[in-house]
Amino acid sequence: MKRTTKVENNDNKSKTKKENKLIKLLKVHKKKILMLVLLCLIVYVIYMVVQLIKKPTDTVYVEMGQIEEEESAVGYIVRDEEVLKGQNYKNGIEQIKTEGEKVAKGEAIFRYYSNNEKNLVEKIKDLDAKIDEALAKEDTILSSDNTKVLEEQIDTKIDQLYRESNLELIQNNKEEIINNMTKKAKLTGELSPAGSYLNKLIKERSKYEKELNDGAESLTASKSGVVSYRVDGYEDILTTDDFGKYTKNFLEDLNLKTGQIVPTSSESGKIIDNYCCYIVCVLDSNYARDAEVGDKLKLRLPSGKEAEASIEYKTVDGDDCVITFKLETDVTELISYRKISFGIIWWSENGLKVPNSAIHTEEKNGNEISYVTRTRIGYQDKVIVKILKQNERYAIVTKYTSEELTELGYTSSEILNMPNIAIYDEILID
């Protein structure tokens, strides 16, 4: 018995020594362990913060919105346009109607400068100054009712010039003032002694004025439309008479630069139909293949503005489709271009907008049913939805009618207790 007790005591002492040794070891490594635990905790917190930033919430609210399917394209502008060019085109143009201004048939558009016009204008200007000086110094001028009337007309037209902003009316008033001054000078000359200095000046001015007018060439509008001086030589190539001639190779061979502004011509102008124009483009999308002549859609112009359009013509060119769009609004916005980048909005839909990541599917009696998971105060409901339109990111959804749900295989009790999607519902997303 004594021997057994002694062995036990030795065992206890050995055990105690081991425990003390372990405690000492733990004390030595205590700080290291604490630092390791703290480091793990920091790493975990950082991970959770990153996850929260990447995905701040796993729910989203149903809202009213719009989605659309838009395709980017490059198109060629085709217009009904008529180039106006006269014989004196090398003399340069004086614009009577400005770029983009509407005109009626028969209205003057522009005129060419006369030969030696600059020199003639300077001579007439010098003679006008001499005539005015002679009139001021004329002591023998006989007053008459006619000269007084002309003076009143001149003063009235001068007053109108200060208030007028229309360039054409300003030009007309200036011409009328000059004519009245000439009449006054002639009348004054007639009242002066024959062969006077004033009469010689008036005759000389009339000679130069006739020479100037005889050499002038004005061009008028053959039809109503919009004036443009941006002439690029494609007016007789990109025409509206045959849309069937436009193929992929035909358009590429034009070697036109996208978005380039057509330069202003100093030799000619043109009249453009301002009621419609056409955009011809080559497409290879499924939407283009399924499109039909007469379809209505919207185009997004280079300015970002949306314009109503329709498909005027369509041909299949191998794997590509050549489609001609007819545009009846914002026509003047495209006057400066011949080839543009634009967007084709094949469809758009308004309604309850939800992300695709919130939509799941299940099978019901052989039918694939879409649904979202709605959460309210911690409770979750499966809500059946009908997808009206869907693009890559979002869908416009609505609820099924009772008749539609019955056709899908749902019972009356299921339909009666079925929740419906509504605006501001909070739904789960992946």
- In the structure, what pLDDT confidence band is assigned to residue 22 with cuts at 50, 70 and 90? low
**Averaged pLDDT score across all residues of the chain:** 82
Residue 145: name the closest of 85, 88, 191, 214 by CA: 191
> Does some domain include residue 409?
yes
Please tell me whether residues 246 and 335 are part of one structural domain: yes
Confidence (pLDDT) at 88: 79
The length of the chain in residues reads 430
Last residue of a domain, one of 349, 365, 399: 349
Confidence (pLDDT) at 28: 58
Confidence (pLDDT) at 92: 80
> Does some domain include residue 231?
no
Please tell me whether residues 387 and 422 are part of one structural domain: yes
Q: For 132-191, write each residue's pLDDT tens digit.
A: 776 666 544 445 555 666 666 666 766 665 555 455 665 666 667 666 666 666 565 555
Q: Is the pLDDT of residue 83 over 50?
A: yes
> Does some domain include residue 201?
yes
Classify each residue of 78-93 as buried b or exposed e, where b means 16 or more C-beta atoms within 10 Å of its C-beta: bbbbbebebebbebeb
Q: Determine the average pLDDT of the residues in 85-114.
A: 86
Please tell me whether residues 344 and 366 are part of one structural domain: no
Please tell me whether residues 211 and 243 are part of one structural domain: no
* Residue 80: partners with Cβ closer than 8 Å, 6 or more residues away: 239, 240, 272, 273, 276, 277
Amino acid residing at 208: Y
Please tell me whether residues 339 and 281 are part of one structural domain: yes
Confidence (pLDDT) at 139: 45
Last residue of a domain, one of 320, 349, 378: 349
Please tell me whether residues 331 and 377 are part of one structural domain: no
Please tell me whether residues 247 and 344 are part of one structural domain: yes
Please tell me whether residues 208 and 128 are part of one structural domain: yes
Please tell me whether residues 340 and 356 are part of one structural domain: no
> Does some domain include residue 301?
yes
CA distance 10 to 4: 10
The pair of structure tokens assigned to 359 is: 């939509």
If one counts the domains in the chain, the total is 4
Q: Determine the average pLDDT of the residues in 90-118.
A: 84
> Does some domain include residue 61?
no
Last residue of a domain, one of 314, 349, 384: 349
State the CB neighbour count (10 A cutoff) for residue 107.
16
Confidence (pLDDT) at 142: 46
- In the structure, what pLDDT confidence band is assigned to residue 131 with cuts at 50, 70 and 90? confident
- In the structure, what pLDDT confidence band is assigned to residue 27 with cuts at 50, 70 and 90? low
Helical residues (DSSP H) of 68-116, grouped into ranges: none
Please tell me whether residues 303 and 314 are part of one structural domain: yes
Please tell me whether residues 340 and 360 are part of one structural domain: no
| Cβ atoms of residues 209 and 186 within 8 Å | no
Confidence (pLDDT) at 181: 66
CA distance 315 to 350: 32
Q: Which of 67-76, 87-96, 231-240 has the lowest mean pLDDT?
A: 87-96
Q: Is the pLDDT of residue 127 over 50?
A: yes
- In the structure, what pLDDT confidence band is assigned to residue 200 with cuts at 50, 70 and 90? confident
Q: Determine the average pLDDT of the residues in 311-319.
A: 92
Residue 235: name the closest of 199, 204, 277 by CA: 277
CA dihedral 267, 121, 156, 173 (to 10 degrees): -20
> Does some domain include residue 109?
no
The residue written with tokens 């409770």 in the block is 379
Q: Is the pLDDT of residue 49 over 90?
A: no
Q: Is the pLDDT of residue 126 over 90?
A: no
Confidence (pLDDT) at 111: 83
> Does some domain include residue 27?
yes
Q: Which domain holds residue 375?
A: 352-428
Residue 139 is given by DSSP the state S
> Does some domain include residue 304?
yes
Residue 297: name the closest of 342, 347, 360, 258 by CA: 347
Q: For 364-385, write each residue's pLDDT tens digit.
A: 888 999 999 999 887 899 999 9
Q: For 202-247, write each residue's pLDDT tens digit.
A: 777 776 666 666 556 788 998 999 999 999 999 999 999 999 999 9
The pair of structure tokens assigned to 112 is: 């060419």
Bigger pLDDT: 286 or 93? Answer: 286
Confidence (pLDDT) at 282: 97
Name the range with the highest mean pLDDT among 24-38, 45-59, 215-229, 235-249.
235-249
Phi, psi of 2 (to 5 degrees): -65, -40
Please tell me whether residues 132 and 159 are part of one structural domain: yes
Q: For 254-309, write each residue's pLDDT tens digit.
A: 999 999 999 999 889 999 999 999 999 999 999 999 999 999 999 999 999 999 99
pTM: 0.66
Confidence (pLDDT) at 377: 85
Q: Is the pLDDT of residue 108 over 50?
A: yes
The rounded percent of the chain whose pLDDT value lies above 70 is 70
* DSSP states along 49-62: HHHHHHSS-SEEE-
